[in-house]
Structure 1
Amino acid sequence: MSRLVRDLPGLGAIFETYADRRQPTKFFLNRPFDIAPDSGVAHDIDSLATLVREASGWLHAAGVRAGDRVALCKQNHFDYVLLSAAAARIGAIPAQLSGMAEPEVLAVLLRRLDAALLITETDILAAADESGVDLAGLVPRTICLDGPAKSATPLDDLRGAPVPPARVRTDQQPMFISHSSGTTGTPKLVVHSARTILQGMGKIEAVRLPIAGATRHDVACHATAFAHMRCIPWAGGMLRLAPAKQIIIADSDPAIAERVLRPHMPTYVEALPSTYQIWEDITSGPDTVFARTRLFLNTFDASHPATMRKFLNATKVRTAVWLHGYGQSETGPMATKLVTRQSLGEAGSRHPSTRHMRPMPGITKLKVVNPDTMKDAKTGEPGLLMTQTSGHCLTYLGELDRWKAKVSGKWWNTGDWGVKTRSGAFVLMDREVDSVPDMSCIELEDVLPDRIPAVREAAVLSRPDGSPVPFLCTDDGTLDPEEWRAAVADLPPLAEPIVMTYDEMPRIGSGKIPRNVLRSRYLDNASTLSTGQWT
């Protein structure tokens, strides 16, 4: 495996390299790229490589040079990856920022980046202006993808610029920056090299593993947050494994998914947990678009058993599985669990087994340590989860001390709370900052939607002066009190739920729920019961 991943092309060369190798995958989009609105929705590797070369010319014409940082902040689409490859092609360092981030957060991140260029869109600049934030004023130059804007150069003014020669950085140098989720506060800027993100994280993506690896016959669907670190090793892996088709969906609307997937009928599906929840509406009926799916995969956050059950029941493939992944921006994938219809067990069971995961042999290691002594915890004793992986990040840009505080020799402190079982599996219980003694909030977040069909999503938050507070999403923002009381009868004490519609629940670009926002809006910024020292 190590020899295989060592020859993975760097980000700046990846599309041109596979174009030279005549990579056969056909790419289908739900809408045209934002950087190429007239290019249609069907592509091959040659057209993607051409877009990367042309985009490197735009950046060079805008004054970007080797070693410069380029901030990307736009609406969700796979052209985030194309722009990042274009920047890397000329030796610059792309930094992907979610277009869904609050203007104040973007301002903090741009100041840390000290970027030479910002690539963005008119709506993002206008929303920032309305909040009193001048994003364009924080960088020397701004390119606006969709037209003229104050202090910004329209992309159309740069089209047709000469394509510069490639200048690829070494495997050890910073190559790519992405921000962490920011569910507990301002996101961190996570810095990776080719060694950590492609050769480290990319190991698992680049190998045709049994069951979990894409085959040349697969029709693979990818519906995710393309501004996230995850998409770089994924792109490298998918280009190497070369499935027959790659369906790229940038918008979570189930009607869009139905329209785009129906002609292709995917066999391999990766989506955000929040997208799966929204797509539950298209899993019923005798002939769903998932009827041929053999593998479902989630990253970024946990998927609930109730959601897994709907999709596994929607496919006609008898051996279909769900690959439940656990990872971080700083480390890539750390542990996985294959879930089947049978292993999900009875709906509403008190202790779902979906979070009993194992590290990947030869790729990652996990252990649990006591947070006070940092020594290995006993089996069955909750503590901090530590991981050892070649994919952990180089640093946090502008927060070196924060990064150093999470490094312990070859081990990385995830900031997550878990336990090792007698079987050697690791059970993820909570983020340490959200943990509650003698219970797991995210376990209850699995149980509640499984027991109450009307609940689409649940978040359980601790508070120092009372029982944890459940936040529940239903279609109409209401909940039957009797059904609630029956569902929680055997659970740890919980406060009365705060019920809202799915759209009212705050979310970040990867679909995760920012718990700090819930605390601010509904709990008067109540503190947690834990230290939050390792967020």
Structure 2
Amino acid sequence: MIFDKLLSLPSDAEPLIVDHQPVIVAAEDDKIPPSEIADAATRTATALRSHGLVPGQRCIVWLESPTDIIVAYAAITALDAVPVLLSPTLPGPVAASMVENVSGITAVIATDERLATSEKTFPGIGRFIDWRDIAAELPGHKRISRRREVASDAAYVIVHTSGTTGTPKLAECSSASIRFNARVQAVIHWLSRLDGHLALAISPVHGRTVVGILAALMRKAPLMLLQDDSPQNVDRMLKRHRPVYLETHPNTFRAWQHLSPGGAFRSIRFFGAGFDVIHPDTVSALLKGSDHRFAVCVEVYGQNETGPIAIRSHLKGTQKPVRALRRLRRSKLLRGHPAGPRFPFCRVRIVDDSGRTVPAGTPGRMVVNTPGVFSGYINRPDLTSKNYPDNRWWDTGDWGTKSRTGRITLIDRQVDKVSGAISGIGIEDILLEKFPEFLELVVLEMDGTLQPVLSLRPGTEFRQRAWESASGRLAKMTEPVIIPDRDFPRTVTGKIQREQLKKTLADQSLSVRL
């Protein structure tokens, strides 16, 4: 697993490239030798053991930088303890509600402001470990020695969901499920013949990140870890270090797509997008900015709870259909967002409310059976039982269709279904492609009507007549609400919290109606 793979890297391995200064190791000129990461992990494990962490215990990791988080969970798993990874962006009250009544958590690793507030945030936990103290102690600790880890169904790491519908849920993953999902990604990378740094700018505590780190280590591929996802920093780092692979959240890609003409993506041959749907115009902008003739953008549909379910590839130069096919394509998009064919190892069923399988092409609840499935929610066992009866078919919470050939189409989340159209996501795909000046667009159903909410890119204006012409062909909608992008409530992975947005719009007048 991750600890073992770090130790097995050759001494002359390509350095990690980072845009931050970690606490546990020093970065020089944006670079850290992997041997120093491995050494820090082995000594940190010994240090944490001296602070009382023992096998089987759960330990909260509430740190800032991706590098520090990787070292922390590698060291904790080396002790056969279980890291509980919490996003540094979580407010204290939300973090407290997530771990309330969860047993087995005996320690919190944090630093600075989060350490100062941890005692109030987690009053039932008796041990608070200052990460800066651990870093200062490292030279005095020996490297831990342990047997090689064997993947099993035992708990390996606890991550959390994005929290699109409320308080994030804590998802326990076994080492077997993490390893399986990492092998899938490693195979994709091998088939793509990626040779160069793999850049990640994704939530450092998400299950997707743990899988991505392990997949890169499996292939001994050098990593580039970005903590600051602002367009200015990303533009600087990509132009300086020229990675071949780039992955972030789809909404973050959208905030970066204006960098394409300036050459930020010239070196990228493979764009990876998970977490949420990525809209067609964003895909086109990314691929257009690559110098590689056969650059590809790959959407992987999956969840923390399931691992990868379906995959869809976009090859450079194939995004814009010829004029004769545009109407057919628009009609298809109105029926939902194509997610591609299911992975061969993943079984997908579309069922009605009673659980009976519906005919091909008929919308329904999407349930899956996959080897990469998680172990359960440790803070919401009731939802585990509800969504995963008999530990066989997991209810994804998505509403969609499956074709006779196994191709998946996402219509909407089950809780976000709209009645005024087939698919709210489909409308968003079409309009965002039509209006590149929109930084964000969400179609909500409020009081029985479709309500578009959007934000504009800086320096652009809303085109009223063009909007009326384009939107009128799709569905009956009210006048759009335009708000600053910062007013969209988002999860730690950039997803829009639609229920919170509805509540905000209902409670306050935050914008001007045109």
* TM-score above 0.5, yes or no: yes
8 Å contact from structure 2 (residues 349, 366) kept in 1: yes
1:333-381 alpha-carbon deviations (Å, 9 max, x no partner)? 11110112444235896344862411112x222121112x211111121
Aligned mate of 1:207, from 170, 187, 210? 187
Partner of 1:442: 425
Deviation at 1:478, TM superposition (A): 6.1
1-structure distance, mates of 2:205, 2:79: 20
1:236-273 alpha-carbon deviations (Å, 9 max, x no partner)? 11112123x42221111122122222233222211221
CA shift in 2, pair 1:38/1:23, >3 Å: closer
8 Å contact from structure 1 (residues 337, 354) kept in 2: no
Aligned mate of 2:351, from 365, 369, 374? 369
Partner of 1:55: 44
Q: Does residue 1:235 correspond to 2:213, yes or no? A: yes
- The one-letter amino acid of 2:25's match is A
Deviation at 1:423, TM superposition (A): 4.3
Structure 1 portions without partners, runs of 5+:
1-9, 147-153, 526-535
8 Å contact from structure 2 (residues 201, 225) kept in 1: yes
Structure 2 portions without partners, runs of 5+:
509-514
SS at match of 2:340: strand
Deviation at 1:483, TM superposition (A): 3.1
8 Å contact from structure 2 (residues 293, 316) kept in 1: no
Partner of 2:387: 406
1:28-66 alpha-carbon deviations (Å, 9 max, x no partner)? 111222433566631233111112112213322322111
8 Å contact from structure 2 (residues 19, 226) kept in 1: yes
SS at match of 1:137: coil
TM-score, normalised via structure 2 length? 0.89
SS at match of 1:386: strand
Deviation at 1:274, TM superposition (A): 2.4
**Aligned counterparts, 1:41-440, within 5 A:** 41-114=30-103, 115-124=105-114, 134-145=120-131, 154-155=133-134, 158-163=137-142, 164-166=144-146, 171-198=152-179, 200-207=180-187, 211=191, 213=192, 215=194, 217-243=195-221, 245-285=222-262, 288-346=263-321, 350=330, 351-352=332-333, 355-361=338-344, 363-371=345-353, 373-409=354-390, 410-437=392-419, 438-440=421-423
8 Å contact from structure 2 (residues 275, 493) kept in 1: yes
Q: Does residue 1:14 correspond to 2:37, yes or no? A: no
Deviation at 1:170, TM superposition (A): 6.0
CA shift in 2, pair 1:123/1:344, >3 Å: farther
Partner of 1:528: none
1-structure distance, mates of 2:265, 2:373: 34
Aligned length, in residue pairs:
494
SS at match of 1:374: coil
8 Å contact from structure 2 (residues 59, 84) kept in 1: yes
Partner of 1:5: none
8 Å contact from structure 1 (residues 196, 390) kept in 2: yes
Partner of 1:529: none
Aligned mate of 1:496, from 479, 492, 507? 479
- The one-letter amino acid of 2:207's match is M
SS at match of 2:86: strand
- The one-letter amino acid of 1:466's match is G
Q: Which protein has the bigger helix share?
A: 2
Partner of 1:150: none
CA shift in 2, pair 1:262/1:157, >3 Å: closer
Deviation at 1:208, TM superposition (A): 5.3
2-structure distance, mates of 1:207, 1:192: 21
2-structure distance, mates of 1:479, 1:180: 34
Provide the identity percentage. 25
Deviation at 1:297, TM superposition (A): 0.9
2-structure distance, mates of 1:459, 1:34: 39
CA shift in 2, pair 1:45/1:210, >3 Å: closer
8 Å contact from structure 1 (residues 505, 513) kept in 2: yes
2-structure distance, mates of 1:51, 1:277: 36
CA shift in 2, pair 1:155/1:497, >3 Å: farther
Q: How large is the Cα RMSD of the aligned pairs?
A: 2.6
2-structure distance, mates of 1:295, 1:326: 16
Partner of 2:468: 485
CA shift in 2, pair 1:50/1:113, >3 Å: farther
SS at match of 2:95: helix
SS at match of 1:24: coil
Deviation at 1:202, TM superposition (A): 2.0
TM-score, normalised via structure 1 length? 0.85
CA shift in 2, pair 1:143/1:318, >3 Å: same
SS at match of 2:109: strand
8 Å contact from structure 1 (residues 283, 311) kept in 2: yes
